[in-house]
Amino acid sequence: MQIIRADSYQSWLYESKGTLVAVDPWLNKKQEFPLFSWLLYRESGEDSYLIKNNLISRVTHIVITAHFSDHLDLNSLKLFKKNIPIYTTKEASKVLSKNGFINVSIVNVDSKYQLGEFQLEPKLAGKPYHKTSFAYVISHNLTRVFHEPHIVNSNHILKNINAAILTVDRVRVLGLVEVSMSMNKASSRSKEMDASYILPTGISPSSTKGLIAWILSINEHALNLSGDLLACRKMGDSLTL
C-alpha cells in the first residue's frame, strides 16, 4: 500500500495494483464556500498531485468524508466521470446525486466496503462531527491505516493501526469548541492505536480565509520541527507500508 499526500491541505491517495482511491480531492486553485466565497475560502499554492501527474483518469474510487465544502469540492469532482464509485455520508450523497453522480454509496459505521485492492471500514467520528462526518480504516492485506479528518473519538480507540492520518494543528471555534487536534493529542491517540507513523492532515489552518476564519482560534504545529515522527508533510510525499 502506498499513501500519498495529494495536496497542501487534507486530500489523500491510496494506491495498490491498479487501484487508486482519492479521499476528499481538491484539484482546483481555490476551494470556497458555495455561492458565498467571502465566508470561507482557501487558495492552493501549487497544483494537486493528481493534476501535476495527470492521474485523474486513473482514480478508481472516491471517498468523501463529509458534506462540508473543504471535503466535498464540486469544482474538483466535476473533473471525474459521473459513474465513478463514491463512498460518502447521507448529506453529501444528496449534493452528489443532485449534480449528476450516479454511483454513490452512503456508508454505515463499522460496515465493510471493497474498493478494488482495499477494504474500507467507516468509523464513528469524534464530537462535534459524529453526526456529519466519519473516520475510517482502510486496509490492504495486513496493513491498516486510520484516518480521522477532525477529532478522534476517544471512546472508540482502535488497535493494530500501522499509520494514523490525524490533525496536528489545534483549532477551536470561538476559543471553545475543538474542531482540530493538537500535536500532543494526536501523538497520544496514535500511541493508543499502536501506530508507527503520524501523517498530518488539515495542515496550516491559518491559510483558510474569510469571515468564518475570524472566529477560529488556531495554534499551528511547526511541521519542520526535528524529532517529530511525522510522515508525508508536503504535497507529493508518500509512505509505503
The CATH number of whichever domain residue 72 belongs to comes to 3.60.15.10
Domain holding 160, by residue range, is: 2-231
Q: Nearest CA to 217 among 175, 167, 163?
A: 175
Stated pTM of the model: 0.95
Q: Are 143 and 1 in contact (CB under 8 A)?
A: yes
Model pLDDT for residues 9-66, shown as the tens digit of each residue: 999 999 999 999 999 999 998 787 776 777 888 888 889 999 999 999 999 999 999 9
Please count the structural domains in the chain: 1
Please indicate, yes or no, if residue 239 is contained in any of the structural domains. no
236 backbone dihedrals φ, ψ, rounded to 5°:
95, -15
Please indicate, yes or no, if residue 241 is contained in any of the structural domains. no
Please indicate, yes or no, if residue 86 is contained in any of the structural domains. yes
Please indicate, yes or no, if residue 177 is contained in any of the structural domains. yes
Model pLDDT for residues 102-122, shown as the tens digit of each residue: 999 999 999 999 999 999 999
Model pLDDT for residues 146-169, shown as the tens digit of each residue: 999 999 999 999 999 999 999 999
232 by DSSP, 3-state: which?
Answer: coil
